[in-house]
């Protein structure tokens, strides 16, 4: 009987942390993406950012389905999203193309990260049911990541415009319906 109670208790604890575990996987994938960028493995980094997006989608679904949403989960998700969809994608693009623009490329990279942080902070302190205010950092980071695939296809200065436009969209006040 004692063993069954302990097993039941353990299962409930794991269940209550399932979404947070998926969020930590998202963070880990974003961290791996950064490590691979530092090693010059940009396509591998792209793969890790894409996988982070999949896990980011699952953590919210799991939290809502299991009714295990929490303030700490919301904060944790935002911190992890800043790494996976703010830092990693902007460093990917910086390493691939923006570094050639010198200080301007570095500043635009930092602006993207800062706007992502502002966007997440605003999200965490506001109540908007059914919609987001501004472009979610996950969308901005994924668009920035996918733009990497167009290096050599579109002129290099266009990437400066892409990163600044996405930055502005993240801190803008337009509404995006949640899906």
**Cα 108 to Cα 119: distance, rounded to the nearest angstrom:** 16
Would you list the domain boundaries of the chain?
2-177
Digit-coded pLDDT (tens) for 35-71: 999 999 999 999 999 999 999 998 888 888 888 778 8
Question: In this structure, how many other beta carbons lie within 10 angstroms of the beta carbon of residue 78?
Answer: 18
- DSSP state, 66? T
Residue 111 CA to residue 167 CA, distance in Å, equals 7
* Distance in angstroms (rounded) separating the CA atoms of residues 91 and 119: 18
Question: What is the mean predicted confidence (pLDDT) over 69-82?
Answer: 89
Most confident of 5-14, 45-54, 126-135, 167-176: 45-54
Please determine, for residue 126, whether its predicted confidence score (pLDDT) is greater than 90: no
- CA distance linking residue 163 with residue 110, whole number of Å: 10
Q: Which of 53-57, 163-167, 172-176 has the highest mean pLDDT?
A: 163-167
**Rounded-to-integer distance, Cα 174 and Cα 133, Å:** 6
- Domain 2-177 CATH superfamily: CDP-alcohol phosphotransferase transmembrane (TM) domain (1.20.120.1760)
**Continuous segment of H or E residues that includes residue 25:** helix 18-38
For all residues of the chain together, what is the average pLDDT? 90
Q: Which of 103, 95, 113, 96 is nearest to 163 (CA)?
A: 113
């Amino acid at each position: 009987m004692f063993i069954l109670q302990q097993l039941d208790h353990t299962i409930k604890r794991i269940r209550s942390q399932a979404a947070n575990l998926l969020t930590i996987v998202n963070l880990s994938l974003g961290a791996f993406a950064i490590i691979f960028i530092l090693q010059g493995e940009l396509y591998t980094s792209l793969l890790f950012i894409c996988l982070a997006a999949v896990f980011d989608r699952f953590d919210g679904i799991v939290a809502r389905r299991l009714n295990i949403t929490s303030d700490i989960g919301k904060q944790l998700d935002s911190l992890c999203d800043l790494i996976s969809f703010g830092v990693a994608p902007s460093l990917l693009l910086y390493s691939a193309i923006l570094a050639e623009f010198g200080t301007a490329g570095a500043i635009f990279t930092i602006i993207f990260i800062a706007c992502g942080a502002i966007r997440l902070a605003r999200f965490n302190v506001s109540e908007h049911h059914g919609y987001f205010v501004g472009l979610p950092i996950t969308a901005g980071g994924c668009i920035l990541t996918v733009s990497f695939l167009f290096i050599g296809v579109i002129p290099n200065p266009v990437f400066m415009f892409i990163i600044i436009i996405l930055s502005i969209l993240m801190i803008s006040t337009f509404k995006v319906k949640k899906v």
